[in-house]
Structures are given as C-alpha cells and as structure tokens.
Amino acid sequence: MRTTAVFTFLKHEQPSEAAWIALGEIAKQWNDSHTPKFSDSMSFLWSINFEDQRDQSFSEFLQQLDSLRRNFACKFHATSELIYDEADYLSADFIEILGISLEGFIKRPFILNAGDTLSSPVPCHACGWQDMFSVAQRAPFAIDERLLDLAIPQGGSPPQGGWDCVNLPNGHKLVSRRILSLFEENQVTGFDVLPVLSGTSGKQSQRMFQILARKFVPATVLSNSGAQLSICQVCGAVLDPNVGDHAELASLLTPTTWCVRRKDVAQDEVLSRHPSRGAMLYLSQRVYRLLVGAPLNGIVESTVLALC
C-alpha cells in the first residue's frame, strides 16, 4: 500500500502577486534538482504529483510548502489517494469491485437504451447531496452483446470467453453467467439479480445480468487522521464541514478509510455503500478469493472496506 499526494496552486487564489512570484521561483528551483517536478499550465496553475508520500522528496517538498505558507500565505489544494496492492486486497474484509467500460466504440454503443433507462440525478431528500449515481432506473438495460467479445475501446487483446464484469453509466455492474454460476455454486449471500436485454429484440440476455447488493449499508465511520466524521444515513454522503478545502493539511494528506458496522452487514457477502444498491459494490474476502481463483475477464479491484 502506498499513498499518493497531488498539490495544485492557482494564481487567482493567491493573496498577492508576490506570493505567486515566490511560488514560481521555488517551483523552478525545485525542478532543477528534484523529481517529481512541478508542472506549469498556461501560466496560471502550478501542480505537482507525488506517487508515494514515503519518498524523501516528499518530506523536502513539505518543508518548502511550509515556508510558502508562513512567508506568503500561499493557497493550495491537496488531495491524496491510497493505492492498494495484492496483499491489501487479500487481507481486507470487503473489496470494492469494478468492471471494464465498453462505451467508446465509434458508432457502436454498448448500452442501447441509456436515454430511456435512466432519469436525471435526484438529490438526497435528507441532505441534498447528489452525484452521477443518484439516478433512478426505469427499465432493464439493453446491450449489444457482440461487444462482449471485443477488446476494450482503448485497445488490448480480446477476452477469451468474453468480458465477465462491465460498468454501467449509473455505477452499477453487469456480470456474466460465469460469475453468477460461481456465486450460486458457492452459496454467496446478499445479492439480487436484474434481467438485461439482448439487443433491441426485448429478449433477456443469457450472457449478462445486472447485480445489486440486497442492502445498502452506509459507512458509520470515515477515518481521516483518526477523526470520526458525520455520514448521511440516507445516502452515505460525508457531512463533516472539515472535509475538502477546509481541512488541515495533515487531514488532506491522510486518505479516508471506510468502515461499516459488522451488525449492519450481518451474514451478507455482497453490500453497497450507495442507496441504489448497485453502485459502490463490495464483496467479502471469501467471494473476492472465489473471483481471483477463477478464469475471469474484467474484474478490477478498487477500494477496501473494514468491519467495525
């Protein structure tokens, strides 16, 4: 596991011209002797991206940043991300699973009825939050099954036996008959299945199925530098005002880690952190190992989730 860090400095946000000039001088001096290097975009934005906060250069950069803050009150945005490795996934309680995208083929959409299937985003009635997943699904997805046997639009090799997990525009996933059979044979608990239509014929696909968790389980703890933050229990959004640009540097550079109560999960091996039950989909360690041990195509690991 490693932790990245990205810093951006915008000219119009600086308190003075002197602050922007000082930042430019430090950036140029840094680039003469360090990596990673500052990037200058259109003369109004400096940015720098660290792939691992454990690198010595990152500690040196923080010293330079502290000087800019003390002497010029420079403003900046900082974000971080946890990058997991195989050992992390094989020890986590739950692992978020994504698929591949088959949208992007010229004049060949994978989803044939997206405009008729999904509504516009709807804000949470409790906190007002909405995102790209906050859409209602009005009908089954219709897909072009022929694309399941092609390489993704970005290139690569065609999948032997077809793709087994494909992302949908609302954050949900389609899974293959192979995955569904694997779940059924091993008595995986906590999921529902919706039909998918093959082409425009109206017939149900025998290759792909839409999978949902049986329940939405909101995170109860968002650990950020050890702090407990408020979570909307209706939609799972973070409500704490100290998240984002208002947070201290130490918090910004400590990625969030998610936790759900063991009693809320109960015996389910599939769960979702989104009220749609299809986005932000997590599988238990046992189910994840079943997928890893099978010859499947298109399984992409994302974040992890702890039980507490």
What are the chain's domains?
Answer: 2-83 (3.30.70), 87-217+259-307 (no CATH)
- Measure the CA–CA gap between 58 and 206, rounded to whole angstroms: 51
- pLDDT per position as a tens digit, 182-209: 999 999 999 999 999 999 888 999 999 9
Element at 270 (helix H, strand E): strand 270-272
**Residue 200 neighbours by CB distance under 10 Å:** 10
Give, as one character, the DSSP assignment of residue 145: G
Lowest pLDDT segment from 207-216, 221-230, 284-293: 221-230
Predicted pLDDT of residue 248: 52
Non-local (6+) Cβ contacts of 183 within 8 A are 191, 287, 290
Predicted pLDDT of residue 244: 38
Element at 284 (helix H, strand E): strand 281-284
- pLDDT per position as a tens digit, 41-76: 888 999 999 999 999 999 999 999 999 999 999 999
Pairing of strands 257-260, 300-307: parallel
Predicted pLDDT of residue 79: 84
- Measure the CA–CA gap between 226 and 49, rounded to whole angstroms: 24
**Radius of gyration over alpha carbons of the chain, in Å?**
22
Among left, alpha and beta (phi > 0; psi -120 to 50; other), residue 136 is beta
- Measure the CA–CA gap between 280 and 289, rounded to whole angstroms: 19
Element at 174 (helix H, strand E): strand 173-176
Residues 91-120: what's their mean pLDDT? 93
User: Does 241 have pLDDT greater than 70?
Assistant: no
Give the number of C-alpha atoms closer than 13 A to the C-alpha of residue 146, restricted to the C-beta side: 7
Among left, alpha and beta (phi > 0; psi -120 to 50; other), residue 5 is beta
Nearest to 68 by CA among 36, 12, 7, 22: 22
- pLDDT per position as a tens digit, 245-279: 334 566 556 667 788 999 999 999 999 999 999 99
- Measure the CA–CA gap between 74 and 84, rounded to whole angstroms: 32
**Residue 54 neighbours by CB distance under 10 Å:** 10
Whether this model's pTM surpasses 0.75: yes
- Measure the CA–CA gap between 268 and 82, rounded to whole angstroms: 26
Nearest to 207 by CA among 183, 176, 242: 176
Predicted pLDDT of residue 129: 84
Residue 251 in contact with residue 225, Cβ under 8 Å?
Answer: yes
3 state DSSP class of 275:
coil
